[in-house]
Amino acid sequence: MSSIKPFSKLPQLNTANVLLVENEGKLQNDLADAIVQQENNVNVTVRLARGLPLPAENEENRPRIDLVVFIVHLSSELSLVSTENSLKQLDTGYFLGKVCFLVTGARCGLVPDERLVSLRKLAGSLHCPLLFAEDQTREGVSTAAQRVLKILRVSAGLVPMVTGLYLSSLTRCTVPLDSDGSVQD
Amino acid sequence: MDAAAEALLRQTVRRIPSSKLNGVLGRWGCLSEAQLGSLESMQPKWLLCDNLISLCRENDLSMKHVAEVEMLYCIENPKRGMWYAYQMVETDDEAQSLELMHFRERFKAHLKDLIGHVSIKLKRHQDESVWIRIAWGDNFNRPNHLKPTYVMHHLQTPYVFVSGLTNKHKPLLFQALVLAAGYSSIKNAHLNGRCITALRDLLMRQYKQVFPSSCPKPLKESNPLPNPNIENEHAKLVEHKQRAAAEAFGYEDPPKLERATYKLETKYREHGNESLNGRDEPFRGVVKFTSSNLLESLKYCITSGAYLFHSGKYHTLELLICCLNYHSCFPSFL
């Protein structure tokens, strides 16, 4: 089992690599297709995984990962638990603007509120962007792919004058105010 | 054309949807082209029915022909009734190979011996199966064509599928079938449902189960052109799981099974706590599985796996594959 490091390999020209981590394996395939179809100017490679750490046998062939997207389905508790476990295995260098959370099912009324709150606290404490996506329709998936691509271009260094650190200060998740008015961090 | 034939024709035309009616009547072949053309399908059904009856009167058709229409429709659309599967058993070892004419003569002769007033129609379908339509009567009544029994049988196999059979006529039909086909007895295969093709596939194992081999051939690519930019980190594992699922459930779509019931009756035995052992009453348990398509959902369970990423270990549902070994552990389907 190997752990990935953000700067251990050389970057390639005009290339961006994203790793989609999802426990169920449902949304990653559609999202990967949508991402690859939408991007024409840059070579985008998508790698799919069910969790971290990644298997060691792909170590040589794996390119430098520019962005790690954790896909969390709020409808299942297992999704959140496995994401938390995977986060522990991720190298700390990635948390400086190279990690993003993608959440589905936030509109569903059957989902208990604590899951979303705890996920927002987690993303807020890690200073990572939290995106909400709708995975049941094709338009939802293509919109999610567009947003992931925007963040990927910045993390891969393809947008001039902007790096992942700038982005995380603009897009990091803020946690809602507590009832007595004090800001939670 | 008598009243009974008319009644049957009305009932049949009511059941056949308008879109299929023209096709069925065309295949029937008892009406000429001109007559078929004169029946417009945009009419309301009752008007169509009246026109059809007057056409049949012109052509001087009888109950026999009308029964053929119903049979044609039933063969093409067997989903209307509940089908029950039975298996014929022979105690002596020689297997008799039968051909259609032989079977037909014997079956008709035996059934007419057993009960005088029956009306039997036998038809051979394209896929080597024999369809039999039986209308039962007794000493006081003519054969009742409004409630016929349909039987489907593949001649070289011991399986029979029956629909619309009452308990009164069951022993008669079974005896005639067993004698005609050359077996010694018939037993319930404990399999029933609306979709006769699924029953047939399940019983005759026409969907292929692949057995695990030490040198597995590579799986065919399921996506026609995998995108080179997308790569799965766990590609080998995914392939392994798909192979395991295919070995347990076959490569094509499995037949549609909606309910499975397991009944267990055994003596309780526990080594630690002796209090429950040695009771006279056996331990009984019933487990029911229900789904819109059981085999497909189990196959999906295996391919998606149950991943628990705890310090790199993972567990898959291999236990289910062992449980569902078709050849030994499926005692009864209900």
Nearest CA in chain A to B226: A33
Q: How far is A3 from chain B (nearest CA, A)?
A: 12
Place of tokens 């039987």: B151
Q: Is B232 on the interface with A (CB under 8 A)?
A: yes
Give percent of chain B above pLDDT 90: 0
Which of A80-89, A101-110, B204-213, B277-286 is the least confident region?
Answer: B204-213
B225 at interface of A, judged by CB pairs closer than 8 A: no
Find the length of chain A: 185
Structure confidence by residue, pLDDT tens digits, A72-102:
999 888 899 999 999 998 888 888 888 999 9
Q: Residue B334's pLDDT band (boundaries 50, 70, 90)?
A: very low
Q: Does B43 touch chain A (CB under 8 A)?
A: no
Using a pLDDT cut of 90, give the percent of chain A over it: 25
pLDDT at B325 over 50: no
Is B217 an interface residue toward A (CB < 8 Å)? no
Task: Flag whether pLDDT at A143 surpasses 50.
Answer: yes
Q: Does the CB of B234 have a partner CB in chain A at under 8 Å?
A: yes
Amino acid code (one letter) for B236: K
- Assign residue B219 a region: left if phi > 0, alpha if psi is -120 to 50, beta otherwise? beta
Q: Where are the beta strands (DSSP E) in A98-164?
A: 99-104, 130-133
Q: A53-57, B48-52, B308-312 — which one is most confidently predicted on average? A: B48-52
In this prediction, residues B171-189 reach a mean pLDDT of 86
B300 touches A: beta carbon within 8 Å: no
Across all residues in chain B, what is the average pLDDT?
A: 75
Q: Which residue of B has its CA nearest to A25?
A: B304
Q: Which residue has the tokens 């001039």?
A: A160
**Chain A residues within an 8 Å CB radius of B230:** 32-33, 36, 45-48
B29-34: long-range contacts at Cβ-Cβ below 8 A with a sequence spacing of 24 or more? B30/B56, B30/B59, B30/B61, B30/B65, B30/B68, B31/B55, B31/B56, B31/B59, B32/B59
The CATH code belonging to domain A15-171 is 3.40.50.300
Cα–Cα distance list, B72 to A114, B27, B104 (Å): 61, 8, 18
Determine whether the interchain pair B307/A57 forms a contact, defined as Cβ–Cβ distance below 8 Å. Answer: no
* Range of A19-23, A50-54, A174-178, B304-308 with top mean pLDDT: A19-23
* Residue B218: strand pairing partners: none
Asked if A46 and B231 come within 8 Å (Cβ–Cβ), the reply is yes
Per-residue H/E/C for B169-196: CHHHHHHHHHHHHCCCEEEEEEEEECCH
| Bond before A53 cis per omega within 30 degrees | yes
Average pLDDT (B137-141) is 81
Q: How far is A47 from chain B (nearest CA, A)?
A: 5
* Residue of chain B with shortest Cα separation from A42: B229
> Which of A2, A48, A86 best probes binding to B when mutated, by most B CB atoms within 10 angstroms?
A48
Determine the residue of chain A that is closest to B227 in CA distance. Answer: A33
The sign of the CA dihedral A144, A150, A151, A155 is positive
The pLDDT of residue B238 is 80
A73 touches chain B (CB under 8 A): no
Contact B307 A44 (CB under 8 A): no
Question: In the structure, how many helices (H) and strands (E) does chain A have?
Answer: 5, 5
Contacts of A43 in chain B (CB under 8 A): 229
CB contact set of A91 (below 8 Å; sequence gap of 6+) = A3, A4, A5, A6
Question: Nearest CA of chain B to the CA of A155: how many Å?
Answer: 18
Residues in B touching A86 (Cβ below 8 Å) = 309
Question: Does the pLDDT of residue B170 top 80, yes or no?
Answer: yes
Give A-chain residues touching B307 at CB under 8 angstroms: 23, 50-51, 82
Nearest Cα of chain A lies from the Cα of B233 at a distance, in angstroms, of 5
Domain segments of chain A as ranges: 15-171
The complex's ipTM works out to 0.75
Confidence class for position A20, pLDDT limits 50, 70, 90: very high
Predicted local confidence at residue B93, as pLDDT:
60
Q: Which CATH code for domain B80-196?
A: 3.30.160.690
Which residue among B229, B233, B304 places its CB closest to the CB of A58? B233
Contact B232 A47 (CB under 8 A): yes
Q: What part of A 9-28 touches B (C-beta under 8 Å)?
A: 19, 23-25
Provide the pLDDT for residue A84. Answer: 92
pLDDT of residue B100: 81
Q: Would you state the torsion angle of the CA atoms of residues A5, A53, A74, A64, taken in this order, to the nearest 10 degrees?
A: 30
Domain positions in chain B: 3-76, 80-196, 230-325
Mean predicted lDDT score pLDDT of chain A: 85
Does B310 contact chain A (CB < 8 Å)?
yes
Q: What is the DSSP letter of B115?
A: -
Supply the DSSP symbol for A23. Answer: S
How many Å apart are CA B112 and CA B119, to the nearest integer? 9
- Which of B227, B230, B300, B308 to mutate to test binding with chain A, by most A CBs within 10 Å of its CB? B230
Q: What is the pLDDT of residues B81-118, one digit of tens each?
A: 888 888 888 766 665 667 788 888 888 888 888 888 88
Contact B231 A47 (CB under 8 A): yes
